[in-house]
Amino acid sequence: MPRLALNSRVTIRYAKANDLDFGNLTVNGLDTQGRAVDFSGPAFLLGLRAYIGY
Amino acid sequence: MSRHPGRALRLRRGRLLLATALILGVGAAGAAQAGAQDAAKKPAAAATPSLPSSPAPRGSQPIVTRAASLYDDSMFEDAIRLLEDGLKNGKIPAADRAKGWEILARSQVKAGHRTEAKDSFKSLLLVDPQYRPDPVRTPPDEVEVFTRASKEYQQELVEEGRRIPASIGLQGVLGVSSNSDISELIEAGNGKALNGGPEFGGSVRMPIRPRWSLDIELARLSDTGSDDSGINYEVSALPLAASIYYMAWSSPSYRINLFGGMGPMLASEAKFSFDVSGVQISASASKTGFYAHTGVEEKCC
């Protein structure tokens, strides 16, 4: 029977993918070429862990 | 008790002669001869504790070396007495203590004191956590007792909070991120900038050393928005991170870990979609990015 525990985490992360290629698409008059997906920043996690290595 | 009383008697007689020779100052030649006779009586056992032989008389040899000789001669009770006295009274130098506990445990197995042998193997693991018996050279009865001791030792470490057992986890994440490149497009259409949102993921964690664990985590990051011109925006990614966790502090019900890790950010995608006369039109691009994180984790209950 695994033992369960609650855990929380405060983290700072760098999460980025640069230079996405949309071709010549413009959105709201702005060029989209080379833009990045960027989830960098602080994050707070809540989780449940099952300890199985007893 | 020795399994070979006749041999033990001969050895004791030999040691008595050796001591007499030394007292009378007969000299090194006599001692060497006695030592050679002594060595000739020892069986070539595969299970020997494998200490280097020394030309010095047994009485002046380190305790661990003498105990190893007694083990080789099947004089297990004598080896036990010698090592128990040496280990309890600090007569064995720190560098030899692991070997001392090993020979003591192995002698106790051979003498039939399996419970005491298990405790001695645990003491050995406290001194040398990486110790493992040689499966080829060590007799199966000794390996069996060591295996039991090792399991109990690991369990005790877990209970004392000094070892983190393997685990799997599920988590929800509240991230704060601007996705500024995409938010700029939304704001140009009088929409509200992205600011992060709920995320989820899972991980598998394995202990690699006392206090240290390796964690492999896959998460799903996403955020959505829209603007006044009816364009919907969606950004998402799947970071796969390998992280090292260090248990900085623990009690039976509470633990604080420090961690850091990195990995690829897979399927990082931005997608724009809008409706034209009932037809959904979308454009997207994706790429693999880079992910790194560090922080503090606490576990409770």
Encode pLDDT of A5-54 as tens digits: 899 999 999 999 999 998 888 888 999 989 999 999 999 999 999 988 65
Query: Taking CB atoms and an 8 Å limit, are A27 and B185 in contact across chains?
Result: yes
Kindly report the nearest CA distance between residue A18 and chain B, in angstroms.
7
Encode pLDDT of B30-58 as tens digits: 433 434 344 333 433 444 555 544 444 45
Residue B20 has pLDDT above 70, yes or no: no
A39 or B162, greater pLDDT: A39
Encode pLDDT of B219-247 as tens digits: 999 999 999 989 999 999 999 999 999 98
Name the percent of chain B lying above pLDDT 70.
78
Kindly report the nearest CA distance between residue A32 and chain B, in angstroms.
8
B155 or A28, greater pLDDT: A28
Query: Taking CB atoms and an 8 Å limit, are A25 and B182 in contact across chains?
Result: no
Residue B111 has pLDDT above 60, yes or no: yes
CB contacts < 8 Å between A and B, how many?
185
pLDDT for the residue B39:
39
Whole-angstrom CA distances from A10 to A42, B87, B152, B208, B263 are: 7, 47, 34, 23, 18
Residue B3 has pLDDT above 90, yes or no: no
Which residues on chain A are in Cβ contact (under 8 Å) with B166? 51-53
pLDDT for the residue B38:
41
Mean pLDDT of B147-157: 84
pLDDT for the residue B85:
92
**Mean residue pLDDT across chain B:** 81
- Supply B182's token pair: 């995409």
The whole model's pTM is what? 0.60
Please give the ipTM for the structure prediction.
0.93
Q: Which of residues 6 through 25 in chain A touch B, CB cutoff 8 A?
A: 6-23, 25
For residues B276 and B166, what is the distance between their CA atoms, to the nearest angstrom? 52
Query: Taking CB atoms and an 8 Å limit, are A37 and B235 in contact across chains?
Result: yes
Using DSSP's 3-state secondary structure scheme, residue A54 falls into coil
pLDDT for the residue B22:
41
